[in-house]
C-alpha cells in the first residue's frame, strides 16, 4: 500500500525575527512558522515539498511585509486552512480574535473557549499553532503578566509584542 503524500509549495521569508517558512497548497496557506519549528519538521516529513512561489505565498509575502512595516491597517490574511479537534479549532480561532496591541492570559483563553479549568491543555494547543503572527499566540501571556510559553523563545515574543505596542 502506498502512502498518499500531499505536494505543497514552500517559501522562506526573511524577517526581523528570523526566517519564517510558509507552506501552501494551490488554494490555502497550510503553515506559517519560524524556521526552528518542531511542527514544521513533522509537516515536511509528510509532504512532497516544492520550493516555489505561488499566489498564496505571494499573498503571504505581502502580509508579512505589511506586518513588519507596521502597516497594520493594510494586513490582508491569505486564505488559510485550519484542521484539528474541536478544542484545537476553538482555541486557534480565539487567537485570531485577540486584538492587535493587547494581550490575554492562558487562563482567560481557557475561559474564552469555555474550558475554564483546561488552561494547561489550552496552552499546549496554543503551542501547536501552525500560523505564527497570523494567529497571534505571542499575545497570550502568563497570569501575572509574565512572558512565558512561546515556542520560538521569549526574545521573539517580546519583540513581537513591542512591535505591536502591546507591552
- Each of the 167 residues of the chain gets a pLDDT tens digit; together they read 345 557 789 999 999 999 999 999 999 999 999 886 666 666 666 778 889 999 999 999 999 999 999 998 888 899 999 999 999 999 999 999 999 999 999 999 999 999 999 989 999 999 999 999 999 999 999 988 888 888 888 999 999 999 999 75
- CATH of the domain spanning 6-74: 3.30.160.70
- Output the pLDDT for position 90: 96
- Output the pLDDT for position 2: 41
- Return the domain boundaries, the chain: 6-74, 86-163
- Output the pLDDT for position 38: 65
Is residue 93 within 8 Å of residue 57, measured between CB atoms?
A: no
CA distances from 99 to 102, 134, 137, 164 (A): 6, 11, 12, 10
- Output the pLDDT for position 4: 53
Residues 6 or more apart in contact with residue 23 via CB below 8 angstroms? 8, 9, 10, 29, 30, 31, 32, 40, 43, 47, 49
The helix, strand and coil proportions of the chain, stated in percent and rounded to the nearest 5, come to 40, 20, 40
- Output the pLDDT for position 149: 82
Copy the grid coordinates of residue 67. Answer: 506586518
CATH T-level fold of 86-163: Arc Repressor Mutant, subunit A (1.10.10)
Active site residues: 137
CA distance 95 to 114: 14
pTM across the whole model: 0.87
CA distance 129 to 137: 7
Amino acid at each position: 500500500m502506498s502512502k498518499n503524500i500531499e505536494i505543497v509549495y514552500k517559501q522562506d521569508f526573511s524577517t526581523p525575527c528570523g526566517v519564517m517558512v510558509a507552506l501552501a497548497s494551490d488554494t490555502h496557506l497550510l503553515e506559517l512558522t519560524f524556521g526552528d519549528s518542531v511542527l514544521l519538521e513533522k509537516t515536511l516529513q509528510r509532504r512532497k515539498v516544492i520550493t516555489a512561489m505561488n499566489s498564496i505565498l505571494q499573498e503571504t509575502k505581502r502580509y508579512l511585509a505589511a506586518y513588519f512595516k507596521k502597516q497594520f491597517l493594510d494586513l490582508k490574511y491569505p486564505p488559510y486552512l485550519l484542521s484539528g479537534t474541536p478544542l484545537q479549532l476553538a482555541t486557534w480561532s480565539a487567537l485570531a480574535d485577540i486584538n492587535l496591541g493587547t494581550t490575554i492570559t492562558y487562563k482567560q483563553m481557557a475561559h474564552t473557549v469555555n474550558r475554564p479549568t483546561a488552561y494547561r491543555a489550552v496552552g499546549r494547543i496554543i503551542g501547536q499553532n501552525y500560523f505564527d503572527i497570523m494567529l497571534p499566540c505571542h499575545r497570550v501571556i502568563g497570569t501575572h503578566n509574565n512572558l512565558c510559553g512561546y515556542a520560538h523563545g521569549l526574545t521573539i515574543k517580546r519583540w513581537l509584542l513591542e512591535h505591536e505596542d502591546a507591552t
